Amino acid sequence: MVTGSSRGLGKGIALELARAGMSVAIHYGSNEAAARETAAQCREVALHASQLFPIIRADLNAAAERDGLMEETLSALGRLDALVNNAGITSPGRADVLDNTEEAWDEVMDVNLKAPWFLSQKAARWWVANGDGPRLEGGYKLVFVSSVSAEMASMNRGDYCISKAGIGMMAKVFALRLAAHGVQVVEFRPGIMETDMTAGVKEKYDPIISGGKVPMRRWGQPSDVGRAVKSFLNGGLPFSTGGAIYLDGGLNLPLL
């Protein structure tokens, strides 16, 4: 299951997993047309005709709908070998730290922290109860897609940065709890990514990237994240759990 996979990074992840021969439950919150498009594109690139790409709507802030998402995924696919927590939002209004409202704070924390915490808990309970049947090399997999903002501060997105830093600790505590049950956990931290959601700031970031702030001097692509997730799910990090991996072209590197 990939949350928020109707567009953006989630869509890039779903497509790469389809190419690798995996069935993917495509979650969306409101844009059904985009989810159907993602499912259609997954079918086009799928390795096997037997792969399934059900689309499932759920408000991740609602406990009942999170339950429904898990139930519909298990019903459609018969099992769950990996959960990719990708869905998230940025700060509403991008307010200065001194102007951030409680309403904005709650909205960001509910989507970016509360939802993945309790959805991961549901997946983990299923894995603990079904520990003898993972079909991925190395066992079940729990993925958190966070951001370089887990460490890189922004004055007008303070709540967002704090939520992403929290994801880092979330990955660690789930890794500790689930290691004995054969579950691997990883956090991926994308940098400046080129998606429909960043189209409005392209002119701002183009010179920043070409000027060397990103040492690899290019935008990140959804496929960059998708290929990293695919590698992890395929057993590419056999002795790793709970750590953070940057997918940012070197943006996080301290520069002199």
Neighbours of 99 (CB within 10 A): 9
Contact 44, 72 (CB under 8 A): no
pTM metric for this prediction? 0.96
Give the confidence band of 106 by pLDDT, cuts at 50, 70, 90.
Answer: very high
Give how many domains the chain has, as a whole number.
Answer: 1
Of 71, 67, 61, 82, residue with least CA distance to 14: 82
pLDDT(131) > 80: no
**CATH code of the domain containing 170:** 3.40.50.720
Assigned token pair, 133: 């049947």
Find the domain containing 194 and state its range: 78-247
pLDDT digits (tens, 9 = 90+) for 205-255: 999 999 999 999 999 999 999 999 999 999 999 999 999 999 999 999 998
| Cα 88 from chain centre | 8
Cα dihedral 118, 114, 222, 41, rounded to 10, equals: 50
Question: According to the model, what pLDDT value does residue 93 have?
Answer: 82
In a domain, 71, yes or no: no
Cα three-residue angle 141-143-48, rounded to 5 degrees: 60
pLDDT(196) > 90: no
In a domain, 165, yes or no: yes
In a domain, 42, yes or no: no
Give the confidence band of 18 by pLDDT, cuts at 50, 70, 90.
Answer: very high
In a domain, 141, yes or no: yes
Q: Mean pLDDT throughout 59-87?
A: 97
**Mean pLDDT over each residue of the chain, to the nearest integer:** 96
In a domain, 58, yes or no: no
Question: According to the model, what pLDDT value does residue 245 have?
Answer: 98
In a domain, 116, yes or no: yes
